[in-house]
Structure 1
Amino acid sequence: MSSDSEDESKELTQEQKKWHILYPLFFDSTKSRKHGRIMPSNLCIPEPTAEEIADACKELNLPFVLEPGKKHPREFFLEGRVRVNFKSPKDEKKPRTPLREDIPSKLKLEKMVAEIMKNRRTEKGQKQKSTGKGKRK
């Protein structure tokens, strides 16, 4: 179901071009809302990557496309974005419906992705501390 596309030259389908775009900037705790962060800082992590967003989408079992070479207009030094689909394809006879009942909107999708990324970073940090392989000061 997930399409983990690493190939930049691969052309997106018309349907994929309509999917919601998530940039790492949206979840960066080091950025202000004025500079592009969209989530509350308590849900964000420092310097997230597009790969972390893609992993969160994979965990949510949503179709996504990782676009590693794409850049946000405001933060053109940071590369990568993820297109994710959380609604059914458009049909003339019925409106688009959420693929998952617990993700009815873009805001809920962004919040769940942020929570997953934060939890993974926290778990990763705890594993490093317990194994003694963390950074030394």
Structure 2
Amino acid sequence: MDGEQQSFKKWNIIYPIYINLKKSIAEGRQNSASKACENPTCIEIGDCCNHLKIPCAIEHDKACPRDFMQIGRVRFELIREHGSPYNPAIGSSSEPRHP
């Protein structure tokens, strides 16, 4: 495994079910309903990442552990190896938000 592939394995992962408004928290949604959308797809999440200039990779052959019928996930990276963000307008969940 080369260095690029190893760093890819460390990227964050989002399954569409994590932001699916149609799913409950118990079913796998991981954010509030006000920040969710109806039935997102990996392609749509990838398009959003590309629009925000965030490196991403769609993995069509992976399934969500909570719902194995939900196929696909997106790997993304918010922070470069040296610590600077790819898009400074986007903070992490551990950073305070400023209006």
* Bin for the TM-score computed over the shorter chain: 0.7 to 0.9
Spell out, residue by residue over 1:35-77, the C-alpha distance to the aligned partner (whole angstroms, 9 max, x if none): 2111211221221111111011011011111101111110100
User: Residue 54 of structure 2: which of 45, 59, 62 is its match?
Assistant: 62
- Structure (1/2) with the larger helix percentage: 1
- Structure (1/2) with the larger strand percentage: 2
Q: CA RMSD in A?
A: 1.8
After TM superposition, the score normalised by the length of structure 1 is 0.61
Q: What is the aligned partner in structure 1 of residue 9 from structure 2?
A: 17
Aligned-residue identity in percent: 34
Give matches, 1:23-102, under 5 Å: 23-90=15-82, 96-102=83-89
Structure 1 gaps of 5+ residues are 1-11, 91-95, 109-137
Structure 2 gaps of 5+ residues are none
Aligned residue pairs: how many? 92
2: CA distance, partners of 1:65 / 1:57: 9
1: CA distance, partners of 2:92 / 2:59: 22
After TM superposition, the score normalised by the length of structure 2 is 0.83
Counterpart code for 1:105: S
Q: What is the aligned partner in structure 2 of residue 6 from structure 1?
A: none
Provide runs of 4+ in structure 1 moved above 4 Å.
none
**Rg: which structure is higher?**
1
Shift of 1:97: 2.7
Change (3 A) 1:107 1:34: farther
